[in-house]
Every structure is written in C-alpha cells, then in structure tokens.
A and B are shown apart, each in its own frame.
Chain A
Amino acid sequence: MLSEHTIPSDYDDEGDEFIDFESYYSVEDTDLNGFKDDSDFDITSDMNSDDESGSRISFLISTQDSENLGKKSSLSGSEERGLPKLNYNCLTTDQIYKLMLQRMENLQPIFNIPLEDMIILLQRYGWSEERLLEQWTEDMEKVLVASGLRTAKHDKIKRGIKLHPNFMCHICCESGEKETFSLECAHEYCLDCYKHYIQDKLPDGKIITCMNCDLALRNEDIDKIMGDNSSAKLMLSSIKGFIQKHSNHYKWCPFVDCNYVIQVGNISSLSEFPRFHISPYVICDNKHKFCFQCGLESHAPGDCQVADVWVKTAQAESANLNWVLKNTKECPKCGVNIEKNGGCNHMTCKSCAYEFCWICEGCWKDHGGSYYECTRFKKEDKNDNVESKGSLRKYTFYYRLFSEHENSAKLDWNLGQTVEQKVRALQENVGISWIESQFLPESIRALIEGRTTLKWSFPVAFYSDPSHNLTKIFVDNQFLLVNAVEDLSQLLQIKEPKKIMEKKLDFYNKARFVKSRENALIECGRDLLCKGICIPQK
C-alpha cells in the first residue's frame, strides 16, 4: 500500500493548531514587547512551578484559540494564498525495484531479450533508458557485446554449474573433485573461487563478469553460485543508480539508516516554492521530515537558500568551528568535567550542585528576567571591531547555538528511546493500553521537531537585519520556543515510568505548546524572508 500525502505548507497536519499570523502579530507584537522585561512573565523550567507555566500555556493558547475560530477557514485561507502543494508517495526499496521491473517489462517488446538481460543492459547504461534506446537503434550488436551479453567466440557450452571428478582450477590451482561454473565463454573455474570473487564484487554494485572475459553473470547465476539471494545486494546499488538517474522524481530519505524513498508526482510545482520562501517538505513513513528540494532535514524557518548558504559557510569554516562543538564542558564553578547526556540545557553540576545554562555557561537563575538571553548575540567590546574577525565571531556564535540544539535534539532522541523503553516495560507489567502510551513518542517527536526548527532559526536570525522590528519579534519568538522546548525536555528527565504516566496531560499540553510556538516562529521567519529583512549571503 502506498500512502498518499499532500502538504499545503509547513504545517499540514496540524490544522487544528493553525494560527492566523497577521492577527497573531498585531496581538502578540505589543504583548511581547511588554513582557520581555516583565518579571511577572518569568517562566523558569523549574518543574515545581506548574501553576505558573500552566497559566502561561493557557494564556497563550487562549490567544491562539481566539484566532483559531474553526480550522476549515484557516486551511482554505492557505489555499487562497495560493501556496503550492506537493503530491508524493513514500516507497520502500522493494517497491522501487518492482517499479523498475515494471518499466523494463514495458520496454521489453522493443528489445526482445530476456528480462534478466534487460537488467544487465540498464545497469550498463546507468538506468538511462534514453541513452540505451539511442545506442540500441544505432548498433544493437555493439550494445550486446559491450554489456557482456554476447561473446565473440561461440563455444556451444551451456552456462551453469557442473560437477567434475577431477578438475584443476586455474584461479586457486587446487585440483580434485570439484563443482565448477562457467558461462558460454567456457572459462570454467571452481565454485569456491567464484563465490569468493562474487563476494568481493557485490559491494561495488557493478555488473559482475566472467573472471576471464567481459561476459556478464545474470542475477540468477549469482544466486545459484552463492546459494542465496545475493543478487539483491547488487540490485540495491542498481536501485540507487535508478534513483540518482531520476532524482527529480525520487529522493532517499536523508535520515541515517532510513531506506524509504519519496516519489513526487507533480514535480513541476517544485519551482513554485521558492517564491513563497517555503520549502517542499515531505515526510517518510518513519515520520522523518525533509526538504525535497535540497535534500536536507526540515530547515524551517529558513528556506533552501538560507540553509544552503549557512551550510556552505559552515563547511568553509569547519576548522574554526570544530572547537565550538564539543560534548563535554567543565562546570563553570568547580571545574569538574560534565557530559551532556540529555537534550535539556538546564544543567546541574553533580559535584557542586551549581545550576547553569549549557549554552552560555551562565548561572541558570540569571536567565530569569530575560530568559535565554544567551540566544541573542551581544556586540562585545568595541575595541575588537576588525570587520572580518567580528563577522566570523558573530557566525561562530550563531553556529554554536545551531549546533547546541542539534546536539540537544540527538540527546533528546536517545533519552526519549530509553524513556519509551521503560514505559513499554511498564505497559507490559501494568497493562496500560498501547494507545494510552502514544503520547510519549508523539511528545518526543514534537520535541525533536521543535529543536530542529529552533536550530534552523539561528541561521535566519544571523542573516536578518538586527535593527528591524520584525527581527526583534523573531528573536522573541525564538525565546518562546526555546522555553517551550526546554520545558518539554525537562519532562523527559523524569526517571520513573509511573510518574511519566501521571504526567501524561503535561506532556500532551507541552508538546502542543511546542508545536504552536514552532509554527509561530516558522511563519515569522517566512515573513522576514518575504519582506527581504533576512538576506542570506556569504
């Protein structure tokens, strides 16, 4: 079964959390400026202040609810704005292979050779059907010889495995009773040598030929010799070749160890996206969200250009930046080495109990009034205003924030896996239904997506005009998302599975809140891009 998705925009399946941002800004604009320095609105990540954070959530959600009078109207609103849509399927490699075979079957009448040989032909031509057809009409015999489907000399020998009572193999030079293999070329070698040979060749993903000439082994020959389904390994690289050849229609999910492929039907609409500063995001069946245009993970609120310029700068500066990215830090107070093992940036030193922020290493409590002040780049001592050095320092600063959230996302994911395992164990022991514990993977997903959005919001902030009021609003929105994310991340620190179950509603609310803050930030970032306030350049 192929699942069909359509995404109207960045926040497709969160229709019920859709926010009308124009009114959002008119409402929130003043509020944000008002409460930025307002200690009444101080939300710490302290788990004890449930009431306070609860009231904050209800405050913000109520603002959204009031703007959110019926999701249907807001959805049709997005259509009115004419945002492009992408129609796509998520396929497994098996499904892709079937698709390839289907295409070959369609071509077969032209070639009139066995399907097995068609596979070899297309392998030889890198799955470019046009090029193959062109050459085929030009000189059929030449194509067959070049692809190893014909030999010049024709001994009347049948390909296959034989048993000889006394055989001397010219590869290993061993003799005795042996099973052998040969193609029509009559270059006959023992089966052990052939196995070894094929084993070595499989990872290359190229056509495997006779050990002594260019005649090609078919998939069925390979499987007979190996005694298993080894040709599938060879076909995997063919699948890769096919996807590469047709990369405008197909893309691998870029996430590690994910083998899904996204197939887009209406590729002509891809060119529509940049105009709106949104990216054609797709979600594979493992729920990995990535950009079909540039192949990166979801990089909202940045568009593809922001992501591209950012990544290229990072590559160019990698030597300088590597020192920024580290997993251990010393406690700013007592100097003990601390390793970050969860995503939360609220650190407590086990040795001296000092609480600090992982990012700026400042005292956690000082984050109070203007919480997460560390997301804002401070222009430091003016003596050091050599232009290039200053701009690199600014980049490094933002890059550090970017990578800290990337790391946090990874750590949160790991932590989430452990927590999920524990809850699953509890589920089996106590008998909680599967449905009832689904809030956990959903919350973890929301957390990681929130962190990813946060991460990519730093490039947007970096390329935006800092003096513009909208940039300030964007940064304020970043603060709010940081807060929401750290809040949710803290929940994962609960070690007791039972307690986690008790906090179910908390998880649910906080995840929902992250989602809405995330959407607000994304839309705000898009505004910066559309209005030309954020201009990515090297």
Chain B
Amino acid sequence: MSRVPRSFRLLEELEKGEKGMGPESCSYGLADSDDITMTNWNGTILGPPHSNHENRIYSVAIECGEEYPDQPPQIKFVSKINLPCVDQITGEVKKNQFHTLREWKRSYTMETLLLDLRKEMALPTNKKLPQPTEGSNF
C-alpha cells in the first residue's frame, strides 16, 4: 500500500464530511475554508442516548498538524463536558488518557476520533457523570 500524503488524505476526509457520507451522530468541517494547509477543523458530536449527554450537541476543535495522519491530531472540547479524558480547565482531550489518541494508527480519521469520543461518553462509568449546564464553553 502506498502512503497517501497528508493533504490528499485531508481532502478525502473533507469530501466525506462535505457530502454528508459519514454517520449522523457526528460531523466535521474545515474551520477556515480558505486555509490551504487544512490545519484547523470544527467538529460536533451528538450526545449518545440513555446518558446525561442525550440530546446535547458538543463542539470540538481539531488541529491536524504537519505530521497528520502519522501523528494524531490535537482535539479540544469547546463545549463544556465532564469526562475523565478531558482536561477540565482547557477542554483538551488528554492523549494518554484516551485510547484512540494514545494508540493512534495511520488509518484512523477524524471521524474515528469523534465516534470514539461519543462511545467514551456512553461508557457505563461515564454516562451518568454530572454534566455542566448545557451551552457553556471552556
């Protein structure tokens, strides 16, 4: 298998996001549609049902650095959320406390990341955690 360079990989992801081919429970797009380097992205995650996150929409900011997808992107919650892997001051998802970032593979995409975060919210240990008021930001 050949290695798809960063930019063409990000274009593929952008296209998938733009055409709405991904799952309905999350979405993502370029933060600045003029940014030829495609570094900054916005994402949303719909809170999973049967949890304290139900019916909430969480915004996240994703930064795909130079080394993406060899290295994982940095991801930060914009909406306030109470999760063990999220830094409660900055909103940053802590790499060593979130398996998808810790055990990052080149085949993972931003979609993988968002869906895995959603799964994290639905974990039995996390789903009933008390949550900050809806609509508040870090």
Contact = CB atoms under 8 A, between A and B. Distances in A.
Nearest to B24: A322
B49 A337 contact: no
Interface in A452-485: none
**What are the 7 closest A-B residue pairs judged by CB atoms, nearest first?**
A326-B49, A330-B50, A323-B49, A323-B55, A322-B24, A328-B50, A337-B50
Interface string B47-91: 001100011000000000000000000000000000000000000
Interface residues on B, range: under 10
Interface of B: 24, 49-50, 54-55
Nearest to A330: B50
A336 to B, nearest CB: 11
Contacts, number: 10
8 contacts: A319-B24, A322-B24, A323-B54, A326-B49, A328-B50, A329-B50, A330-B50, A337-B50
A243 B55 CA distance: 43
Contacts of B50: 328-330, 337
Main secondary structure of the interface of B (DSSP, over half): loop
Contacts of A323: 49, 54-55
Contacts of B54: 323
Nearest to B128: A335
Interface of A: 319, 322-323, 326, 328-330, 337
A282 B49 CA distance: 39
A258 to B, nearest CB: 26
A323 B50 CA distance: 10
A323 B47 CA distance: 10
Nearest to A324: B49
Given A322-B24, A323-B49, A328-B50, 7 more contacts: A319-B24, A323-B54, A323-B55, A326-B49, A329-B50, A330-B50, A337-B50
Nearest to A318: B24
A319 B54 CA distance: 13
Nearest to B25: A322
A328 B54 CA distance: 14
Interface-centre pick from A319, A323, A328, A337 (highest chain B CB count, 10 A) = A323
A330 B50 CA distance: 8
Contacts of B55: 323
